[in-house]
Structure 1
Amino acid sequence: MALLRKYIYLLIPLFFLYLLHQTINIAQGSDDVFFSSVKEPFWDWIRIRYDTWTSRLFSETLFYFILGYGVNIWRFLNPLFIILLAYLVVRVLKKTVDTKDVFFSLIIIGCFSKSILSASFFWITGSLVYLWPITIALVTAIPYADKLFRDEDTVNDRNYFLFFILSILVCLSNEQATFCLLAFSLIFHIKMFLDKRKQDIRLISLSIVYTLGTAFIITSPGNKLRKVSEIQTWFPEFSQLSLKEHLYIGFIWIFDKIFNEMLVLIMIISVLLMFIGFKHRGGEGESKLLIAFSAMFIVILSVKISVFNPKVLSDFTNIKNFNFFETILSPAQWTKAFFQALIPYLFWSFYVMIMATLVYRCVKHKIFILFLMLAAFAAMAIMFFSPTIYASGNRILAVSAVILTLIIVKIKNDQDIEFSKPILLILAVFPVINILELGFWWTENGIYRILY
């Protein structure tokens, strides 16, 4: 009975997720249908996909067997991966994991936007490219975190082969996760060198796997051919874009994604920072930052409930009505409409700079938090140079959303914020409503219709 009470925080969400997954089938009109109808022998299929389309050979293997033979296996495993992801977010950050910590992490994950959840967690194809590889990536990050933050050796002769294989699987599944792990491993080795601490040969070998995996991704013939095909299909003008145009298009896109699709996560971080700030008053400079940040937070809430111009801070496309670089250099063209188009960019830029400063000040491992913030941005910024920047949908936000979840949980841990059981249950109402509403959308429109 005591064991049941201990794990009740996880058993109830797991049961809820299992029920939800029984309603999910192959999404008509999506890649699910394509992969479920593959007729070629497995090795022939993998060779064809590598030569003509992708380096994601592990994901392609999952597509082949799960969509071809075992959707029920996916319905059984996918809820476990969601719970495991919530656990690993906490485990990377600390050695001893309490079920309430995992439950809090699960609450944050449940607050992801509906399109991110639908496309990267509950769509069969999407989950096999995002949820599963991201979860595996967090497993492989544990030995680095344990060594760097806790000076503990997680990798040993008995489990090294497991971490080695999992590292390879990540490289064969998701480019964003691979690049993040490569960057984290390099920062780890540099920090160990600067601190004059002994390098672990096993971790060096895992870092080599990420390096070779990145090279494998970049040189894959299928990736090159896929890019040509995607340019023709989704973005014929892509090859003619200059670096300046890539950045211009990319920043419009990334502002829209961060401050619309991921706004709830930004707001959760904001609430935590204000709670910490007003509870532990710092110096005069920090107090001024906190007051400015709180005032901007109130502005955001006010605009969101306003009936007059609720999109004044969320419409990032108006800037396309102007030749930005020409207008910004010509004061004669500065009109009211131009400044209105700039408002969301200026507002959110200041907001994020203050938020990043407050986050940096309230956590213990400052280099790590800087890495997380940059990684969340970089995982999205690689889309600046992808012809599917508009076609990929919001599944590509999954890596950044999980990184923001890591930031939220780290702030909570470092500030020793504890939520009572009643508070956790109240907080759980928000993700439950979010996912139930998502289920109603599926019933009305089909899962594929809201992948974007």
Structure 2
Amino acid sequence: MINQKDFIKKSGSYLLLVTIVVLVYLFHLNFDIFEISDDAWFKNAGEYFHLFDFLKWRYFHWSARLFPDAVAYLIFKLPIVYWRVFNTALIVLLGYSISRIFNSKWKPFASVSALLILGYISYDVLYSGYFWITGSFNYLLPMALGMYVMIPYADSYFRETEHHFSIKTILLFIAVFLFSFSNEQVLACALGAALCYHIAIFIQKKKVNPILLISTGLMLIGFIIMYVSPGNKLRFVFEEARYFPGFSSLSLLGRTKIGMFWMYQMISQNMIVSVVLITILTLIITKPSWYKKILIILSTLMISLHHVRSDYMMDFESRSKVPVRLFMDTKLFSLEFIYYVLPFVLWTLFFGILILCILKSVDHPIFIGLCFLAALTSCILMFFSPTIVASGPRVLNCFGLILSLVSVYLFHQIVEKYQNESYSTFVLGIFPVVAFLMYYLRLKNQ
């Protein structure tokens, strides 16, 4: 029988979750159809196409994101309130799925902490992937569905749960099938995680789960169908002519150079708060060691340089315009050159030591290492797109989600260690609550 203290705590966690969900929905009231964007195009698509003809045209002329396109086609036919409810449900599903990755059973407090940690992602990234209507179909929808279909893999790997065919299995296959035609970035990361799961099971000589094998097969088939879409080539030609003329003529080294500087620019400008959160959580769980001392020193140095010359630490765009041949110059280690590349070196060292501290401190270092590899892969995929300099922060949504996943994992380890879930969640929620209150007031005053 549950005692009074546990009942109050459980009731409070449900009340807190419901409050956050209501606030998330109310925040949606600030957003409507953005007429000078893809919103207007999707809104008018129903006047010229039937659904099947629309999806066929998109596949052969633009992209194979058939599921987001279908949802956008249908939702734009309805009043805006339906999108607000649907989008709120997707955010709740994302929070639920993230929390279930690390728990055998759903816990409302775990979902609350997951939703709060998502609030540490830059507003520019969140807006483009969560609150811009078209962006929510192309990013939030695939991410929520992708995290959901990863739950059985986590149950099997972390908790050795056996899955048997049932009605839930059919629902899982439907979710996997729809997810397999959603977003290339998210699908590539999920498929990579699924393949790593099967490799780990094979190495450990454990029993192969046919349900997860079928799920992985569906994702692989979907990925191939998306990759060979005729629309991809047509879109590439159009986007190259519009956003980056001559992109296809760049060498692999040239694309990599532009991509690396772009990645550091985008992360330093748009993901800094998420990185700070991970750093703080890492310092809390990391035992005294030489690598923890180096992380503290590097963090202090980075904060100091950012405070004194934020433009120096974050302006990678101008550095990307330097020809590759200059990096082979005999004056490679001149003072001017060192001053030029120092921010790149410092950020690289910082991320390297941060990841080392995390891997040395967590219970599942291989899983965390794969998370960081997936985050890196989501950015590297942009190295081969002519929209690399025009896409804006929306392409960081997958990266931000993976950082949030790592943060949730670290936060759960802190809660387990110190047994202070309520207080830790309260402290965790201060920044996102204040930040979104400021965003709300800014939107109201526009």
Q: TM-score range by the shorter chain?
A: over 0.9
Residue in structure 1 matched with residue 94 of structure 2 by the alignment: 85
Name the structure 2 match of 1:26.
33
Indicate the residue corresponding to 1:373 in structure 2.
372
What is the deviation of 1:156?
2.6
Match of 2:292 in 1: 290
Task: Say yes or no: does 1:428 pair with 2:429.
Answer: yes
How far residue 347 of structure 1 moved from its aligned partner, in angstroms, is 0.2
Q: In the alignment, is residue 396 of structure 1 matched against residue 361 of structure 2?
A: no
Give the equivalent residue in structure 2 for 1:284: none
Q: What is the CA–CA distance in structure 2 between the aligned matches of 1:333 and 1:205, rounded to whole Å?
A: 52
> What does residue range 90-169 of structure 1 map to in structure 2 within 5 Å?
90-154=99-163, 156-169=165-178
Structure-1 separation of matches of 2:410 and 2:444:
37
SS at match of 1:112: coil
SS of aligned partner of 1:68: coil
Moved segments of 4+, more than 6 Å = none
Q: Aligned residue for 2:409? A: 410
Offset of residue 31 of structure 1: 0.6
- Summarize the Cα distance change of 1:290–1:333 in structure 2 as closer, same or farther, 3 Å threshold: closer
How many Å separate the matches in 1 of 2:332 and 2:295?
Answer: 32
Aligned in 2, Cα 1:174/1:329: closer, same or farther, shift over 3 Å?
A: same
The verdict on how the C-alpha distance between 1:6 and 1:428 changes in structure 2, with shifts beyond 3 A counting, is closer
Q: CA deviation at 1:271?
A: 0.7
Are the equivalent residues in 2 in contact too, given 1:136–1:170 (CA < 8 A)? yes
1:125 is paired with a residue whose SS is: helix
With 399-408 and 151-160 compared, the bigger mean Cα shift is at: 151-160
Cα deviation for residue 142 of structure 1 reads 0.8
Q: Secondary structure at the match of 1:331?
A: coil
Matched residue count? 435
On the 8 A contact 1:235/1:387 being kept in 2, the answer is yes
User: Is the Cα contact below 8 Å between 1:137 and 1:177 reproduced in 2?
Assistant: yes
2:275 aligned to which of 241, 266, 271: 266
Matched, 1:17 2:24: yes
What is the distance in 2 between the residues matched to 1:98 and 1:115?
30
TM-score by length of 1: 0.91
1:214 and 2:235 correspond: no
Query: Is 2:30–2:443's contact at 8 Å kept on the other side of the alignment?
Result: no
TM-score w.r.t. length of structure 2: 0.93
The answer on whether the counterparts of 1:93 and 1:145 sit within 8 Å (CA) in structure 2 is yes
Q: Kindly indicate whether the alpha-carbon contact (under 8 Å) linking 1:155 and 1:202 is maintained by their aligned counterparts in 2.
A: yes
Deviations 1:375-409 (A, max 9, x none): 01101110000011112221111111111111111
Query: Among residues 6, 12, 29, which one is paired with 2:13 in the alignment?
Result: 6
Cα distance, 1:313 vs. partner? 1.9
Q: Quick check: 331-340 or 112-121, which moved more? A: 331-340
Task: Give SS of 1:402's match.
Answer: helix
Aligned equivalent of 1:49, options 24, 47, 58: 58
Deviates more, 1:422-431 or 1:54-63: 422-431
Aligned-residue offset at 1:441: 4.6
Q: Cα distance 1:441–1:240, how it changes in 2: closer, same or farther (>3 A)?
A: farther
Contiguous gaps of at least 5 residues in structure 1: 282-286, 446-452
Question: Where does structure 2 lack aligned partners over 5 or more consecutive residues?
Answer: 1-6
Distance in 2 between residues matched to 1:13 and 1:223, nearest whole Å: 39
Q: Does 1:61 align with 2:77?
A: no
One-letter code aligned to 1:421: S
Aligned twin of 2:42? 35
Q: Percent identity?
A: 29
RMSD: 1.9
Which one of 293, 302, 305 corresponds to residue 303 of structure 1? 305
Deviation, structure 1 residue 442 = 4.0
